[in-house]
Amino acid sequence: MTHTPGLRTRIKICGLTREQDVDAAVQAGTDAIGLVLYAKSPRHVSAARAAELARRLPPFVTPVLLFVNASPDEVRAACDLIPAAMLQFHGDETPDECARAAAGRPFLRAARIPLDSSQSFDLLRFASDFSAAQALLLDAHVEGYGGAGKAFDWSRIPINVSAHLVLSGGLTPANVGDGIARLGPRCRTLAVDVSSGVEASKGIKDAGKIEQFVAAVRAADAYLGSTRHEHLL
């Protein structure tokens, strides 16, 4: 099964650290916010701080807690503070480690795609291994486990991936529409995730850029929907 052009592309703004940035993401119409619980990230927040930010969210906007090689106890402690959260495993976690830490909660698993095209990455095998994940988040394989604003070669994604995908890594208002058009037909559904592309500086979001990003996604959805309609006529 592949993505149907014209479906609404869901949007996650990741790496939020301030109340005003949470409010800006909500106001712009995003579907989820990402809170980074990885101490080495410049966008890191504590679990207690993540809970404060998550309490600002209205219904139907999902907080996503990002972990990198965290212990199940760390994950559970954060989940106790933010019961409505979805989880995102962005390190070297195995399928069993993800399942154990998630303990039945929905989770995303990051697939870190090498920037060097000579290095292979079998996304179909990865999707099979992590079939328990609600979606696979595609990010560039960079030092520091993401957030570097680097885009991988989108043509490396197979034509038919039987999974929900979240495109991340180097997205901006200028290129997200192209990403949706190119990768949407290759998967069951496609969502997008942006961090550095809507920032004034690391961990500090720009409300105007968030609005531009959301507008670019909606424009891409509208264009693909109209194109599909024309083909049906």
Any idea where the domains of the chain sit in the sequence?
10-232
Per-residue confidence band for 232, with pLDDT thresholds at 50, 70 and 90 = very low
- Rounded distance between C-alpha atoms, residue 134 and residue 77, angstroms: 21
| H/E element, 113 | strand 107-114
Q: What is the pTM of this model?
A: 0.93
Q: What pLDDT does residue 48 have?
A: 98
Dihedral, CA of residue 195, residue 225, residue 157 and residue 187, to nearest 10: 100
Q: What pLDDT does residue 210 have?
A: 98
Mean predicted confidence (pLDDT) in 134-144: 89
Classify domain 10-232 at the CATH class level: alpha beta
Residues annotated as catalytic (active site), given as ranges: 14, 139
Average pLDDT, the chain: 92
Q: What pLDDT does residue 149 have?
A: 76
Share of the chain above pLDDT 90, in %: 85
Task: Pull the structure tokens for residue 116.
Answer: 């060097």
- Is residue 9 within 8 A of residue 184, CB to CB? The reply is yes
CB atoms within 10 A of CB 94: 11
Task: Pull the structure tokens for residue 50.
Answer: 């993540």
Mean predicted confidence (pLDDT) in 29-51: 97
Mean predicted confidence (pLDDT) in 16-26: 98
Per-residue confidence band for 231, with pLDDT thresholds at 50, 70 and 90 = very low
**DSSP letter (8 states) at residue 68:** S
